[in-house]
Structure 1
């Protein structure tokens, strides 16, 4: 009876029998740690543990049993499978090392996926050729020669087409734009919604334009999302030559600052070109906000110029501010302001109807109001500015309620009033309020109580907000 431990395959078999379980246990622990950290290296480790090691162990056992040879067909089959799995493992590890943790902005992050796919295909073809040469003794020299000749012929035949594709791929590798960026190619202006190896899809007002990468690579274009500094939405406006430039410029500048989509770190630029012509450059948070900013600015400007008595596009009168409308509004608020019915006619010339667009600031904090504004239609939101970017809401005012009550005491306001919807108010000047208070002292008491209630609410909101900020910090 032969002593099996003296057989040439015994030591190798023992090494496989002991080493394989140990390696599987170690790789299981490593795989668990990589999976918990969501590391890209988990994929090649999983392939190594589940397939490469077991098939490699089987090949080793078969090789040892066959006197360390791969001449037998069934050993060659296992060797072929093991070699293919080894190629996959190398490709997976190659992908993790080069691209798994690519830093944004580096060449590894910008490399188009088609380049990576072509490199993988080349490595697979070369790996399989070497595998069949080693295991099956195949002659791969002729195969490589045929592939080389075919590539040269196809390259000459498709020189222009391949050249445009390559130029487009090089454009993607350089990556002068990303998804969401706004491009201006001269003929197309819009937002990039899709980028592939052949073309760029740009969303415009007329629809999605398909621009070949080669066209972009061979021409100049502007990436509006990568301007050095803020992006400006510009417009040109025409006022009456008789309107004072400093009044017009102050109004345009303030409206631009109040827009919610502006960049607070950059000031708007207003330029007077003479003869009633003005240009406004509004700093916005990217090209995507430019259209909305100009639309809101134009809407607000229509109301603001008519309240200020400025002539925009040949008109300076608000059609809603008529003596009949003022009379009707005074009759509605007569009980609130203690206005006698026979005194309405006297106040028509002093008071006026004002309208605001949704989102406009009706009353600013820190200023002494020039009168009381009573809500006729719409609603007003009250806010207190604590110091952060977002004011704290205090509530809303509806029809019959008013803002600007500190006009009576000549004190600065603590709250900001914003039109929550298209708003119509009746402005009652401070002089009229003084005369009404002198005739009706109870009105002064009511206004004072309103002032104190809103101040108390503002103080509570400020204290609560500061406490929350202190807790979060």
Structure 2
């Protein structure tokens, strides 16, 4: 009776231990733990009674049942405790990530098989070795039938221990770029940039060469090949390709892009661009941006990407010269900064007109960079972006007929903002070399340009506000005009 009276105490003690583990280590407790407490409270008194020789036959059967339940439930609780304290804590702290689910599942399955063996041998007295030997033929048959599955499981275990990749890594598998989404006992699941899901058996993964784009760091390089005509000097092509690549969104500044002359092809010299990125999800967008920028850079430089010899070249007719001249003359008449020029000087400026085409999102000029030209928008739109305090802010959008870069053209100051093509843009670039002869011929032109720049600077800084005294406005105007006059005379060597 004393042994039976101890059952409630054993139940409460075990339950208290479980509650402490839950509070101290957040070990999940549920119905299985409650059953474990009941099984232990029932098995311990019966075990004592059996040792005293007072147990009855039906009690002996109950003892075996509770013993078997105790082994199974204790194994389940031990696995939960192991998962919380070892897999999720110690393993994660040591390796920097939670243990792979496949490794946890394989270990739990092995431990559970041992527990079942103990139940059969200890609780019920079965000869497990005889059972295993007798079922050898069945095991061989099952092994042949499941050899593919077993191969996948073994390969999955090898992947877990070898760790050639982890969830979140980007791989190249059979020429496909894909992100690892899940690794389980049978297969590895991946997702491509096009949101296609690939379910590749572990055996197939192990048997192929794996290219991990995310190890040891996410920074990695890609290469693009492009051909240019034989007549173009290689160093000139390299500069164009480097600039086009560096301006593509997503390309890392460090390490900087490189360009190699790779081959002399049948119809072109083949160049190879090497660039770096750290986000494989943007791979398609980055390659599109690079190729697009190359096209625009090549067009602005007057270069052509050769057609293959086996194709027929078809060229679209160029814009009629008279129509282009009329458009430029119209835009020129709207430019206040060029209003001091007379008609003859404007015609001479038009003779040297250079039309530059920029693609959407291309940077036309960069803040704080040197320059010697201004731009007039013929077609399209462009955003004016200022970088300050680590932030890029769009302060204005320029439209057809508007100009930018005149301060850099006339005074040599660095660019005060970055201008980015919002749409495909046709720009008229007016170079300092074409304006300089006109200023040399007309000394008063520098004076008028200085006054015009002074008024624009005052308007920008708000000096022309209504509340500003007229004397202050005039003094400021003269101060600005004198400063600009000095810069123009020095820059244009007047």
TM-score bin (small chain): 0.7 to 0.9
Mapped contact 1:299–1:357 kept (Cα < 8 A) = yes
Label 1:300 to 1:20 Cα distance change in 2 as closer, same or farther (>3 A).
same
Change in 2 beyond 3 A, CA 1:449/1:427: farther
Which residue is 2:80 aligned to?
92
1:214 equivalent among 186, 197, 203:
203
**Residues 244-289 of structure 1: CA distance to partner in whole angstroms, max 9, x if unpaired?**
3333222211222222211222021112356754322122225544
The secondary structure found in structure 2 opposite 1:365 is coil
Q: For the structure 1 residues 150 and 106, does the alpha-carbon distance in structure 2 shift closer, same or farther, using more than 3 Å as the test?
A: farther
Within a 5 Å distance, the mapping from 1:308-387 to structure 2 comes to: 308-313=301-306, 319=318, 322=321, 324-332=323-331, 334-337=333-336, 339=339, 345-386=347-388
Q: 1:53: which partner in 2?
A: 37
SS at match of 1:99: helix
Quick check: 1:437–1:443 contact (8 Å CA) kept in 2? Answer: no
- What is the SS of the residue equivalent to 1:408? helix
**1:34 equivalenced with 2:25 (yes/no):** yes
Q: 1:311, 1:203 → 2: CA distance?
A: 38
Task: Give yes or no for the alignment of 1:233 onto 2:222.
Answer: yes
- Give the secondary structure class of the aligned counterpart of 1:348: helix
2: CA distance, partners of 1:286 / 1:119 = 35
Shift of 1:409: 1.8
CA distance in 1 between partners of 2:67 and 2:217 (Å): 59
CA contact (8 A) 1:359 1:421 kept: yes
Name the SS of the counterpart of 1:250 in structure 2: helix
Count of aligned positions: 432
Partner of 1:392: 392
Change (3 A) 1:152 1:70: farther
Q: Distance in 1 between matches of 2:177 and 2:93?
A: 24
Q: What secondary structure sits across from 2:235 in the alignment?
A: helix
Q: Aligned partners of 2:316, 2:201: CA distance in 1, in Å?
A: 52
CA distance in 2, matches of 1:287, 1:163: 33
After TM superposition, list the pairs within 5 Å mapping 1:408-419 onto structure 2.
408-419=410-421
- TM-score w.r.t. length of structure 2: 0.71
In 2, Cα distance between the equivalents of 1:239 and 1:191?
A: 32
Q: Which residue of 1 aligns with 2:467?
A: none
1:6-405 alignment runs, 5 A limit: 8-9=2-3, 13=5, 17=8, 20-21=11-12, 24-25=15-16, 27-35=18-26, 42-43=27-28, 50-60=34-44, 69=55, 71=57, 72=59, 73-74=61-62, 76-101=64-89, 102-103=91-92, 113=102, 116-131=104-119, 133-136=121-124, 140=128, 142-155=130-143, 157-158=144-145, 161=148, 164-165=151-152, 168-173=155-160, 174-184=162-172, 187-193=174-180, 195-200=183-188, 211-226=200-215, 230-272=219-261, 276-285=269-278, 287-313=280-306, 319=318, 322=321, 324-332=323-331, 334-337=333-336, 339=339, 345-386=347-388, 388=390, 391-399=391-399, 400-405=401-406
Q: Distance in 1 between matches of 2:207 and 2:326?
A: 68
Determine the C-alpha separation between the residues in 2 that align with 1:124 and 1:170: 18
CA gap of 1:421–1:105, structure 2 versus 1, over 3 A, is farther
**2:468 matched residue in structure 1:** none
Question: Per the alignment, in what secondary structure is the counterpart of residue 79 of structure 2?
Answer: helix
Determine the structure 2 residue equivalent to 1:421.
Answer: 423
- Structure 2 residues not aligned, in runs of 5+: 308-312, 440-444, 463-494
Deviates more, 1:90-99 or 1:17-26: 17-26
Contact 1:379/1:396, CA 8 A, preserved across alignment:
no
Which residue pairs with 2:479 in the alignment? none
Q: Is the partner of 1:355 in helix, strand or coil?
A: strand
Cα distance in 2, alignment partners of residues 118 and 232 from structure 1: 37
Q: Distance in 2 between matches of 1:88 and 1:221?
A: 37
Q: Which runs of 5+ in 1 are unaligned?
A: 1-6, 36-41, 454-473
Rounded Cα–Cα distance in structure 2 between residues aligned with 1:108 and 1:370: 55
User: Is contact 1:363–1:403 with CA below 8 Å preserved after alignment?
Assistant: no
Report if the CA contact (8 A) 1:243-1:311 is conserved.
no
- For 2:138 and 2:18, the matched residues in 1 are separated by 44
Cα distance between partner residues in 2 of 1:119 and 1:367: 62
CA contact (8 A) 1:235 1:280 kept: yes
